[in-house]
A and B are shown apart, each in its own frame.
Chain A
Amino acid sequence: MAYATLAEDLKELHHPKSWVGKYIWSQDHKYIAVQYMMTAVAIGVVALVLSDLMRLQIGFPGSVGFITPEAYYQMITMHGMIMVIYLLTALLLGGFGNFLIPLMLGARDMVFPFVNMLSYWVYLLSVLILVASFFVPGGPTGAGWTLYPPQAILPGTPGRDWGIILMLASLAVFIVAFTMGGLNYVTTVLQARTRGMTLMRMPLSVWGIFVATILALLAFPALFVASIMMMLDRVLGTSFFMPALVSQGQLLGYNGGSPILFQHLFWFFGHPEVYIVALPAFGIVSDLIATHARKNIFGYRMMVWAIVIIGGLSFLVWAHHMYVSGMNPYFGFFFATSTLIIAVPTAIKVYNWVLTLWKGNIHFTVPMLFAIAFIFTFINGGLTGLFLGNVSVDVPLSGTYFVVAHFHMVMGVSPILVIFGAIYHWYPKITGRMWNETLGKIHFWFTFLGTYLIYFPMHYLGLLGMPRRYYEYGHTAFIPDTAHYLNAFITTVALIVGAAQLIFFYNMITSYFYGPKAGGNPWRATTLEWQTPTTPAPHGNWGPNLPVVYRWAYDYSVPGAPEDFIPQNVPAFGTSRNHKT
């Protein structure tokens, strides 16, 4: 491990004096993390508003005048893409990855701070390109977040002129930004761990982020290639994905391409993407549960192996999104089997979370409430995955609201609950202040109960056979009126949940100025980020001496110990000690 190099780095870390140098062109991983978080949350709020608007159209068709079919399809597309890529991926890896990796591993910073800064600014550029598509003639693309060709680049789809071009460009730029950040995260994990921080002593948060980053590095190239090829098809008239076709009475010049090739590329990226979002959430929630239940995470080794196995398997299951796509139907046997196999390590993770609560000493703090809510929500979302992964069961459900409910439960609400839990958990470390607990709990109850009320009943609309991505249903014989009432109910709850997020923002902003001082380790946690000499941690994190790690991350309630936690940098016997670098 390269602690000698790090000591050298400390001398080279330049400490900018000006406000701009400190907060804007910062190379400090903690500031970059906050920049990532703020940007992701800001664009995420846009996506949230879009979702409430489209829910208005679904629940109360025609009630909002400006939601035309064009606008509706643009809303669903932008909502999906923003949430998956620009919010969840950026927030979990760019935000929490940046903040947690160096602090949890006892490093002074990422190994390539300049590239890290560049990563954020290029990410911001991709967000700006995306936002720009709202203002170009024709508006953003309305091709659905999957951007399936040929439809995505043909007339008859909103945003066909500029929207789709900006979307593809923004994705390509995002991938460049992510690759710069991602190389940093993996290299930091492998090269910059402090003395004593062996791989198996790393907190599960770092494991989750680490494996997710590797997945992302290897999966994003597929999306990159797909974006470039589709861009060429759209702008220069190549035929990678475009067969000979008659669009609105016009025979176009395309010939011989295959739309299914795009789907393979998209889902070769898209399925690992689910785990790119899920694995950091798995890791973080493990640490939240252990800390607030005052108990070691149950089956740490199994948890690590499960993360690695899930990561590996996630590259072998992509075509379960394509059972009814028209690909060779015999692939279904393989992909159904591989998909259901991935359920085994995932189930083990769930058992171990619950078994960590078992015989624990559970503190019902706000982060813990979110963690428990995650377990409950994730169990539900994971189990419905067994329907959709199982090829023939998927056939009647594919493309219906069952799918919408499933993936919102499993990769929408679940990671968001973890993100909220994580923000409440680390807020005192980031800002040095504590938030208001009552407001935190109110926010929690609205969010947890509300999202469940939205998505649980939605499965049944799918079971009934209501297809997704419908602007309105008009009169359809098999859809009873009660289904429309249920939709109106779901919309009402969605609006309430959306509005309840204001409580969160109010709490975060006022606490930043008026919250009580939190102290360095308010949760009495073992991991290194809570052991920094000052809070918030300074540039370089550790003052003159790097921490030395003597134990794993989960020494809670060790028999015979004076307190119910022993920080990782406390030697086997005696008090905390640092070593000279």
Chain B
Amino acid sequence: MAMAVAVAVLIVGSVLFHLLSPWHSTPLASNWSSIDNAVTVTFWVTGAVFVAINSFMVYALIRYDRRRGGQATYEPENAKLEKRLTLWTTVGIATLLAPGLYAWDKFVTIPDNASIVEAVGQQWEWSFRFPGKDGVLGTADARFVNENNPFGLNPNDPYGKDDVLIEGNTVHLPIGKPIKMVLRSKDVLHDFFVPQFRARMNLVPGLVTYFWFTPTKTGKYEILCAQLCGIGHYTMRGYVIVDDQRTFDAWLKKQPTFAQAVASR
């Protein structure tokens, strides 16, 4: 009986906790409502299953407690029941999978008009690069990194000359435009994680990774590194400031290009 009561209390408590908890997702600040929807659907379906199976168990625990007497029934299997359960479980799983894959399909399809921004990670700071007027990022490699060229841009690549370099941990982005966030690491794995944007991806040295999103709310958001990257992992913070287009343009104009940065050093 104590066990049945305990399980019952935990079921009710879990549901109440979910409904009353002040700790829910941060307000969405990007286009990824499809991800949020998939999360919500999953919560509903799994929540219902959680309550249903456990309530059934509570009932069984009370009803078939040996102190109520009675003998156990001898029933090796019930093929019909098992088939039915399998079928309904499969249906439930498909219900979950569909919105998940739908959102993923969007996630892997970069819109044609997405503008490119690069985030560069190193232990334990962020820097950023815009492609400049030509809209193309110059090539880069760890072997080019030195004091005068912290981004490791290829000095012979003409596409790199007009790239706009943002040192320091803060980047501005324009609202309402799809951004293809290109990610590069100079040393170890990192992860570009802004909880409010939902979308994110690892930075992998030796590879260029990417993901996309459209900022939909102005404001200042924290970037947290979410892939263990050494002792300073927890201090690896950056900021994304989402501006309206005019403020953003004004800000970008003030930032140095690669050519200017080389000249000034």
A residues near B (Cβ < 8 Å) are 69-70, 73, 142-144, 148, 150-151, 154, 156-158, 243-248, 251, 256-260, 293-296, 298-302, 324-326, 329-330, 332-333, 336-337, 340-341, 343-344, 347-348, 350-352, 354-355, 357-364, 369, 372, 375-376, 379-380, 383-384, 386-387, 390-393, 395-400, 445, 448-449, 452, 456-457, 460-461, 463-465, 467-474, 476-478, 480, 482-483, 486, 554, 556-559, 564
| B251 interface residue (CB < 8 Å to A) | no
| B177 interface residue (CB < 8 Å to A) | no
Cβ contact within 8 Å between B228 and A372: no
The 22 sampled A-B contact pairs (Cβ below 8 Å) are A69-B231, A69-B234, A156-B230, A243-B207, A245-B187, A299-B82, A300-B76, A324-B200, A333-B105, A340-B93, A359-B64, A362-B64, A362-B66, A364-B65, A387-B46, A457-B23, A464-B25, A465-B196, A472-B234, A476-B222, A480-B23, A482-B23
Q: Shortest distance in angstroms between B62's beta carbon and chain A's nearest beta carbon? A: 9
Cβ contact within 8 Å between A258 and B70: no
| B260 interface residue (CB < 8 Å to A) | no
Q: Shortest distance in angstroms between B190's beta carbon and chain A's nearest beta carbon? A: 9
Q: Which residues of A contact B261 (CB under 8 A)?
A: none
Q: Give the docked Cα–Cα distance between A481 and B164 (Å).
A: 38
Cβ contact within 8 Å between B22 and A482: yes
Cβ contact within 8 Å between B24 and A293: no
Cβ contact within 8 Å between B60 and A354: yes
Other than the known A372-B7, A449-B6, what 18 A-B pairs have Cβ atoms closer than 8 Å? Answer: A69-B231, A246-B186, A251-B143, A294-B66, A302-B77, A302-B82, A351-B85, A354-B56, A362-B61, A372-B57, A395-B199, A396-B199, A452-B10, A457-B23, A476-B222, A478-B195, A478-B222, A557-B74
Chain B 42-60 per-residue mask, 1 if CB under 8 angstroms from chain A, else 0: 1001100110011011001
Q: Do A151 and B230 form a contact, CB below 8 Å, given A357-B64, A359-B72?
A: yes
Q: Give the docked Cα–Cα distance between A5 and B39 (Å).
A: 58
Q: Which residues of A contact B216 (CB under 8 A)?
A: none
Q: Which residues of B contact A397 (CB under 8 A)?
A: 39
| B116 interface residue (CB < 8 Å to A) | no
Cβ contact within 8 Å between A383 and B198: no
Q: Shortest distance in angstroms between A211's beta carbon and chain B's nearest beta carbon? A: 20
Cβ contact within 8 Å between A301 and B187: no
Q: Which residues of B contact A469 (CB under 8 A)?
A: 228, 233-234
Q: Which residues of B contact A369 (CB under 8 A)?
A: 3
Cβ contact within 8 Å between B205 and A150: yes
| 4 smallest beta-carbon distances between A and B, as pairs | A243-B206, A465-B195, A392-B103, A390-B100
Q: Shortest distance in angstroms between B51's beta carbon and chain A's nearest beta carbon? A: 10
Q: Which residues of B contact A476 (CB under 8 A)?
A: 222, 224, 237
Q: Shortest distance in angstroms between B121's beta carbon and chain A's nearest beta carbon? A: 11
Cβ contact within 8 Å between B71 and A361: yes
Interfacial residues of chain B within 69-100, with CB under 8 A of chain A in the complex: 70-78, 81-82, 85-86, 89-90, 93, 96-97, 100
Picked from B17, B108, B196, the residue with its CB within 8 Å of the CB of A478 is: B196
Q: Shortest distance in angstroms between A295's beta carbon and chain B's nearest beta carbon? A: 4
Cβ contact within 8 Å between B100 and A392: yes
| B214 interface residue (CB < 8 Å to A) | no
Cβ contact within 8 Å between A73 and B228: yes
- Closest chain A residue to B73, Cβ basis: A359
| B202 interface residue (CB < 8 Å to A) | yes
Q: Shortest distance in angstroms between A66's beta carbon and chain B's nearest beta carbon? A: 15
Q: Which residues of A contact B248 (CB under 8 A)?
A: none
- Closest chain B residue to A257, Cβ basis: B206
Picked from B42, B54, B224, the residue with its CB within 8 Å of the CB of A379 is: B54
Picked from B22, B42, B74, the residue with its CB within 8 Å of the CB of A390 is: B42
Q: Shortest distance in angstroms between B189's beta carbon and chain A's nearest beta carbon? A: 6
Q: Which residues of A contact B12 (CB under 8 A)?
A: none
Cβ contact within 8 Å between B232 and A156: yes
Q: Give the docked Cα–Cα distance between A295 and B64 (Å).
A: 11
Q: Do A393 and B206 form a contact, CB below 8 Å, given A148-B189, A251-B145, A300-B76?
A: no
Q: Do A298 and B39 form a contact, CB below 8 Å, given A245-B142, A344-B86, A379-B54?
A: no
Q: Do A395 and B228 form a contact, CB below 8 Å, given A244-B143, A372-B3, A470-B233?
A: no
Cβ contact within 8 Å between A151 and B189: yes
Picked from A142, A248, A302, A557, the residue with its CB within 8 Å of the CB of B72 is: A557
Q: Give the docked Cα–Cα distance between A477 and B238 (Å).
A: 12
Q: Which residues of B contact A474 (CB under 8 A)?
A: 234-235
- Closest chain B residue to A359, Cβ basis: B73
Q: Do A326 and B207 form a contact, CB below 8 Å, given A361-B71, A362-B64, A376-B54?
A: yes
Cβ contact within 8 Å between A460 and B23: yes
Cβ contact within 8 Å between B66 and A246: no
Picked from A348, A457, A477, A480, the residue with its CB within 8 Å of the CB of B86 is: A348
- Closest chain A residue to B145, Cβ basis: A246
Cβ contact within 8 Å between B35 and A344: no
Cβ contact within 8 Å between A478 and B23: no
Q: Give the docked Cα–Cα distance between A245 and B186 (Å).
A: 6
Chain B 8-52 per-residue mask, 1 if CB under 8 angstroms from chain A, else 0: 001000100110011111100000101100110010011001100
| B101 interface residue (CB < 8 Å to A) | yes
Picked from A329, A399, A463, A467, the residue with its CB within 8 Å of the CB of B24 is: A463
Cβ contact within 8 Å between A344 and B90: yes
Q: Which residues of B contact A302 (CB under 8 A)?
A: 77, 82
Chain B 175-218 per-residue mask, 1 if CB under 8 angstroms from chain A, else 0: 00000000101111101010110111111111101000000000
Q: Shortest distance in angstroms between B103's beta carbon and chain A's nearest beta carbon? A: 4
